Amino acid sequence: MIVALEKVSKFFGAEEILTDITLKIEDNDRIGLIGANGAGKSTLLNLMTGEEEPTGGEIAFSKKRIGYLHQNAGLSGENSILEEMRSVFSDVLHMGEKLEKLYETLSTPQGNTEENHKEYARLQTLYEQKDGYHVDIKINTVLNGMGFLGRDLSTPIDRLSGGEKTRLALAKLLLSEPDLLILDEPTNHLDFKTLEWLEEYLTAYKGAIVLVSHDRYFLDRCVTDICEIYKGKLTRYRGNYSKFVVLKAQQLEYLQKEYEKQQAEIASLKDYVARNQVRASTAKSAKSRQHILDNMEVLEKPSDYLKSIHLKFSFTTEPVKDVLKVEHLELKVKDKLLNPDVNLHIRKNDKIAIVGANGVGKTSLLKAILNKFPYEKGTITWGGGVKKSYFEQETTDLHPEKTALSELWDRFPSIYEQELRRILGSLLLTGEDVYKKVGVLSGGEKAKIKFAVMMLEKGNVLILDEPTNHLDLSSKEVLDQALADYPGTVIMVSHDRYLLNKVPTKIVEMKPGEMVIYDGKYDYYLEKHKETAVIPQEKNTEKTNEFYRSKKDRAEETKRKNNLRKTEASIEETEAEISRLQEEMANPEIASDFARLQQTCDRLEELEQVLTKLYETWEELQGND
């Protein structure tokens, strides 16, 4: 056990934020903490770390270390990147300095004592236990993973952007390796590559983890439990986020049945009381049933438990087959070239998600095809019958002085107010909220107005730029399903990998001068991306193997040629010896000596056998030439 909360409550003034929270965090837990904005997630994290005291209940802490990354974590601006990372290992680095000094002392006659040798051995053992020899390797590994590969590590932190500081703070916390790692929205400012590295790092992390995140894909990869806070109460679900969605649906279905069952019981009791309370013979039993009613804990209506928005996109006019053609489009911002050559062909019913590195021109492309971004080179051709509807992530096309209702009414003056209020109500903008000025609304509320506009526009091509940025988890789920069910064409830019894994039929990776199309959703794109990333390495390995094989071949070739030369020399010698013996046999003196002639014949026969084998060997060696 690292932290245990038992019936903890927390008040701010008269308002109770958390109610009767019981939660135990064990050594290897992987917990995702979710809940609506203002539900009390950050308050609960502060209680876990001891930064805040509970109003009621008890919190037990072990002696294990807790590391907490706030959304706005502080760094020492005077330090360089490397200095800040090395500060995590200050005690280990100090120990290393002592070892070096002690080593120098041992090299002197007066310092070469038994006592110093023992101290050196003790320090070295402790230094190895703390993995002191790998400090720089750890630092480089984490910094590279967090997107600082190739960065000058002497750069002062004050010169870093806000996103870079957030990533650096996370890198620093990861290096500290606490027993409980608490991360509040750690995926902000991270690209796909860094996210993937972080997910793999956290999956292998030895300690416990508590994550607050709206990144559903990240939660799926990193947690094994979901803790949801709703109306101050915490419920724990076993499984990752996708499992939680299933369990939550099952729970709500069960609660709905229990609610309906209780409502039927209440109606029956009320009916009995109404019919029997005035009769003397049944007044007592009616009073008993009234007592049951008065003491009954009425279940909350499940439909009120987690209200979700309702979205449905539709259209009335079918476009032609070829919806959009972009050819040799050059994207520039002032004098900065974003992308020199963009080519894209979109057909009817395609659902395209455009991904790519920051600054490659994704949002600029969306604006260019909508004629909201100037371009000098290239062509953009829309097909006949196309009706576009656009979701802009900045929502600058909403007038800050208009109310939510008037924003819709000015766009669709022929639609009755009741219908407009119904649409807004389906997006949980009800009552007086519809009269609030757009300028004071939250990012999520502005996004809902944009969705209302899109539903009313009935476009057959939806163009969306980061549509999930300001939405809560339940709203994201609804949007996913609405886009998946939409029968028209979708062109979107998004970093929401969970959305990218449910909606697109194609992932288009945008690179400078190149559009790479993957016929599948995000996991397929990721799989193919990994394959292409491995290919160069495999090719290099193959080239290396070819080098070693050719080196071996050259050695074998040299050996073959040497053997060939030796064989040819032996053949020449053997043939010469045979010729000499044949000449001897022609000599009358030898021919008249039977014993000597027999020896010469036997020797000649041996040499001919040797010559035959030599020629066989020569043919084998010659055949490889």
pLDDT tier for residue 614 given thresholds of 50, 70 and 90: confident
| pLDDT of 83 above 90 | yes
pLDDT for the residue 542:
43
- List the single range of 42-51, 250-259, 460-469, 607-616 with lowest mean pLDDT: 607-616
- State whether residue 142 is helix, strand or coil: helix
336 & 464 share domain: yes
Last residue in a domain, options 470, 490, 525: 525
552 & 456 share domain: no
pLDDT for the residue 563:
81
pLDDT tier for residue 390 given thresholds of 50, 70 and 90: very high
416 & 360 share domain: yes
462 & 359 share domain: yes
Distance of CA 264 to the CA centre of its chain: 47
List Cβ<8 Å contacts ≥24 apart for 573-581.
574/607, 574/610, 574/611, 574/614, 575/611, 577/607, 578/604, 578/607, 578/608, 578/611, 581/607
518 & 534 share domain: no
pLDDT for the residue 611:
77
pLDDT tier for residue 9 given thresholds of 50, 70 and 90: very high
**Cα–Cα distances in angstroms (integers) from residue 453 to residues 144, 281, 449, 609, in the given order:** 43, 63, 6, 100
pLDDT tier for residue 533 given thresholds of 50, 70 and 90: low
Answer whether residue 317 is part of any domain: no
For residue 203, give the CATH number of its domain.
3.40.50.300
Answer whether residue 173 is part of any domain: no
Whether the pTM exceeds 0.85: the reply is no
253 & 144 share domain: no
What is the spatial distance between Cα 164 and Cα 81, in angstroms, rounded to a whole number? 10
pLDDT for the residue 5:
95
To which H or E segment does residue 8 belong?
strand 3-12
Helices (H) and strands (E) in the chain, counts: 20, 18
What is the spatial distance between Cα 611 and Cα 606, in angstroms, rounded to a whole number? 9
Number of domains observed in the structure of the chain: 5
What is the spatial distance between Cα 338 and Cα 335, in angstroms, rounded to a whole number? 9
Cβ neighbourhood burial of 568 (10 Å; 0-12, 13-18, 19+): middle
What is the spatial distance between Cα 354 and Cα 372, in angstroms, rounded to a whole number? 18
| pLDDT of 539 above 60 | no
Task: State the CB neighbour count (10 A cutoff) for residue 548.
Answer: 10
96 & 229 share domain: no
pLDDT tier for residue 174 given thresholds of 50, 70 and 90: very high
259 & 125 share domain: no
45 & 3 share domain: yes
Instruction: Give the closest residue to 494 by CA, choosing from 527, 457, 522.
Output: 522
Answer whether residue 408 is part of any domain: yes
Answer whether residue 70 is part of any domain: no
479 & 353 share domain: yes
Last residue in a domain, options 167, 188, 217: 167
Q: Where are the beta strands (DSSP E) in 190-295?
A: 208-212, 225-230, 233-238
pLDDT for the residue 534:
58
pLDDT tier for residue 139 given thresholds of 50, 70 and 90: very high
| pLDDT of 317 above 80 | yes
For the stretch 183-212, pLDDT in tens is: 998 988 788 989 999 999 999 999 999 999
For 402-419, what is the mean pLDDT?
Answer: 95
Answer whether residue 172 is part of any domain: no
Domain span at residue 515 reads 322-525
Last residue in a domain, options 239, 258, 292: 239
215 & 184 share domain: yes
